[in-house]
Amino acid sequence: MRVIVAGWIRFASAEIAGKAIRAGADLIVESRTETGCVAYNWSVDPLDDGKAHVFEEWESEQDLLRHLRHRSYTQMRDQLAQHELSDFDIKLYSVAGIEPVYDEEGQARTTIFGVSL
């Protein structure tokens, strides 16, 4: 089953958040090459000073568990700890199904996983 990792990390300022992400760029690139990594992105929130968003998508629980023991993950944790990290909230989400947002005509879907308004 696919797994999503999503949340945010709070730094003292947007400048520090950007610096922390740039300092970990090689580790982000390395994580993107790991088996089962579908998406791996860190970004500074343009409207909330000091907040960085984390988004990851993994093919399976096993792939994510391997990542959590991989050098790229452990070194990123160590790297982030050097940048005035003040708070975070990152969660795991299991994905039971996947559908495109848009239908065959490019319109927003009117039914999602069999549910409609």
pLDDT in tens, 3-51: 999 999 999 999 999 999 999 999 999 999 999 999 999 999 999 999 9
Residue 83 and residue 19 in contact, taking contact as beta carbons nearer than 8 Å: yes
Domain ranges of the chain: 2-97
Per-residue confidence at 117, pLDDT binned at 50, 70, 90?
confident
The model's pLDDT over 63-93, given as tens digits with 9 standing for 90+, comes to 999 999 999 999 999 999 899 889 999 999 9
CB 2 within 8 A of CB 87: no
Q: What is the pLDDT, as a whole number, of residue 7?
A: 98
CA distances from 83 to 19, 21, 23, 97 (A): 8, 10, 10, 37
Residues 11, 54: contact at Cβ < 8 Å? no
CATH classification (class only), 2-97: alpha beta
Residue 9 · residue 51 · CB < 8 Å = yes
pLDDT for res 29: 97
